[in-house]
Amino acid sequence: MTEEQLDLLAPHQPDEHFVIRESARAKHMAINVGAHGVVEVVVPRHTRPKIVQEFVAQHRQWIDRALSELEKDRPPIKRAMPDVIELAAIDRRWTVQYGSKRLQEIGGTVHVPAIHEDRPQCRQHLQQWLKNTAREHLVPRLNGLAEETGFHYKKVQVRGQRTRWGSYSSSGTLSLNYCLLFLQPELVKHLMMHELCHTREMSHSRRFWRLLGEYQPDFRSLERRLDGAWIDVPGWVGLH
């Protein structure tokens, strides 16, 4: 299923975001509401769209209440293009200059080949820059952590997932979300350790949590912080 199929689910406000994610691990359907108001519907593979529609309709009141409560607490999402970018994960700060000839980073400045007012183009270039920066800084960190702890995977990819900080597939691919760059270093390490443990235990079984606990004794509090950390991702990134 794709996000386009969600138009069939039920009428919803224009500022709501619904995402369907098929999961090989899921045995039942579930609904999660993220910090930026993204409604993720997790479904087992090969679930028919009609079944998903009925499930969402049954839980529509709960979704609306959750979104209303979220709206009370969260600050307004700022979608204007940034003049400054701060990445907590690597403790770096850049200024942004628009209208350059090509996308490049020179010293402490990111040069964007689009005018400030052209938000779609600016967003596309800045997403690419974030992806490049994550490859440069986060992938080596992951490789070092894997070598240190003895975990193995076939390859790493950097993506811009809307609702997941990372993932590990049965084919041996470990994915990192470039939005991790906006998080505190201890949360980035925890996410990496979480996905590395999936290289041995694919499901969130008791054995998985025991394994993670060997490397992250305070994993429960870190998981809670990670769940709420989407609020640290700026709106201009365009994933929420």
How do strand 38-44 and strand 30-33 relate by DSSP bridges? antiparallel
Assess whether pLDDT exceeds 60 at residue 26: yes
Residue 217 in this model has a pLDDT that exceeds 80: yes
pLDDT at 7 over 60: no
Between 154 and 35, the more confident residue is: 154
Q: What percent of the chain is modeled with pLDDT above 90?
A: 60
Chain centroid to CA 44: how far? 20
Mean pLDDT of the chain: 87
Single out the residue of 157, 156, 101 nearest to residue 125, CA to CA. 101
Q: Which two tokens stand for residue 47?
A: 């679930």
Calculate the alpha carbon distances from 110 to 93, 107, 173, 217 in Å.
10, 8, 30, 38
CA 236 to mean position of chain CA atoms: 14
Q: What is the per-residue pLDDT for 77?
A: 58
Query: Model confidence at 8, in pLDDT bands (50, 70, 90)?
Result: very low
Selected residue with higher pLDDT from 19 and 50:
50
Rounded mean pLDDT of 146-166?
94
158 strand-pairing partners: 176
Q: How far apart are CA 102 and CA 125, in angstroms?
A: 9
Q: What stretches of the chain adopt beta strand conformation (E)? A: 17-23, 30-33, 38-44, 84-87, 92-98, 104-106, 109-112, 155-159, 166-168, 173-177
* 3-class state of residue 108 by DSSP: coil
In the predicted model, what is the mean pLDDT of residues 73-92?
83
Q: What is the pLDDT of residue 64?
A: 86
pLDDT attached to residue 95 = 97
Number of residues that make up the chain: 240
What residue ranges define each of the domains in the chain, with the CATH number in brackets? 3-73 (no CATH), 84-237 (3.30.2010.10)
Query: What pLDDT score does 18 carry?
Result: 74
Q: Is the pTM of this model over 0.75?
A: no
pLDDT at 168: 95
